[in-house]
Chains A and B, each alone.
Chain A
């Protein structure tokens, strides 16, 4: 598919930057983002394996989009809010969600931030301003507009980052959210991960126009299209968008072009709808490798350091999984409380019944 709106790109697959480009991300932050990308990739691989072993019930790997999620989050500030679609574990890791917290959630144990009430990969954390994922598609888009309007009412130096993918942009809530944000001049960055597939549906069956970007222009907002396998294009654009929003200019739409190299989820089989050749072509464009090559070429990192880091990472992940496995699942009370701010009589009655029934059953 040919895209007419220009795609911003600075760093190629050989780790070389375009002539005349001056990197804005600091060396430290770049290295940190690189480590989080590796962490995301490794955890994704482990979660798929754990699903095959029936230890985790569901996982949604983000291979190919590690830079898109991690580096976009790196360009934001801690006070900024995140709304996710679901494939943004990289973004919440960058925001400070720990490996242990993620494992506790994926295994739905007693320390899961969502208290075992949702499917896996529905992460979120209040203290990070990282809103808990819901399975419903595009619903977070008008919510992000409202959240950003709250930031505007308070006059804070804060913006809202709203992640979603190109398939979700077909939902009515996408249009509702962009329009609400545009007319209220809410400081929200709509970050559309165009990864070419919505489960099995290729983008040619999703839209007939020039991708998602023109819709931003249609709603009267500043719009960018970026190569989202290029960490520098992502960082510079999101940072510029953040400054623009925080200065009171209203929302921004970024169409982030990448590719979903892995399956939609552990319940998906991509071989039924695309060729290995197609995937291999994109694997060569790996967003993590590009950064690694750049770091090594510029003497910011070495193969030895890389190996050492990776081994320690594997160890930490395995340890966290073991800890998560050992924790019990949430108590039965978590099914009845927090439906409301209080427990009404009918829920109390049903909870009492269940406690009694479970007791009888175990006799």
Chain B
């Protein structure tokens, strides 16, 4: 065991998997010798050589298309998109190509890869270094979406993702890249995809979140306890496939639910979770499912603090739902 932050845990997982599987190839903008702008790929070029960890031109659709060609021809690419805000030039490659490759070729040409990219606000990044685009990809059949919330999850989920024969969008919460620290096993381990974590048990209300927001949710749950509200906190870890069983079991226990996400409220993944709860546990609900989200605006740098659905807003959502 070693105390690591998320960057170190990602780096550790990449070292471990590149050692174990010589088909893993890592590339992206500034990813080579420099080790990436967040240093997640530090040391990989030195250790495994430039053919397996290298810089690319600044061309996101080129990076993802190139990864798909490698994947179809037997390799396991792990491309990095420097910021999730810059993934959109590659949107066509991801949505129309990578996600549909297995299906449209009759299972002949598959595109198993892990696209790593830092996402989310809270670092004074303004419009273009703050977005949480998970919903845009969750609306595309064929791609799995994984979001760790701490170093232990980052390593275990990344190793599991690199061993899954599907394209995976691996969104890393950059707000807590270094702030989140915990003990991480130095050995090989996997956290299975599609399993949510019950991070805190409670009986009064279910609070659902993922990534950096999960920490705001934990803090809010702790403060709610002082107000006499016993909150159960679910950390999804994988958004697709979604662990619906854990969600519904919790709703049946508590009857009340808040879903909290950093992304804009309208058409966000919180809306999908809310609809699923209604379909599958309507008679257990004692209050409408409440969404505590980012606003439906682009990300204003000067008002980042007001934009973020941080713990004070989550506490209000808990209280309003509890008192409904």
Contact = CB atoms under 8 A, between A and B. Distances in A.
Interface residues of B, number: 50
A341 B110 CA distance: 9
B219 interface: no
B69 A145 contact: yes
Interface string B87-114: 0010011001100101111111110100
A153 B144 contact: no
B104 A122 contact: yes
Given A139-B93, A145-B65, A153 B107 contact: no
Interface stretch (A70-78, A124-132, A300-308): A124-132
B29 to A, nearest CB: 12
Contacts of A132: 104-106, 108-109
Contacts of A114: 104-106
B259 interface: no
Contacts of B92: 136, 139, 173
Nearest to A146: B69
Nearest to B107: A338
Contacts of B54: 184
B73 A176 contact: no
Interface band, chain A: 35 or more
Contacts of B281: none
Given A114-B104, A132-B104, A139-B93, A180 B66 contact: yes
Contact of A180 (B56, B71, B241): B56
Contacts of B89: 172
21 contacts: A81-B73, A113-B105, A113-B106, A118-B104, A126-B105, A142-B62, A145-B62, A146-B66, A146-B67, A146-B71, A147-B70, A149-B70, A172-B89, A177-B66, A179-B59, A183-B57, A184-B54, A339-B103, A341-B102, A341-B165, A344-B194
Interface of B: 25, 51-52, 54, 56-57, 59, 61-75, 77, 89, 92-93, 96-97, 100, 102-110, 112, 141-142, 144, 164-166, 194, 240-242, 244
Interface of A: 81, 112-115, 117-118, 122, 124-126, 131-132, 134, 136, 139, 141-151, 153, 160, 172-173, 175-177, 179-180, 183-184, 338-341, 344-346
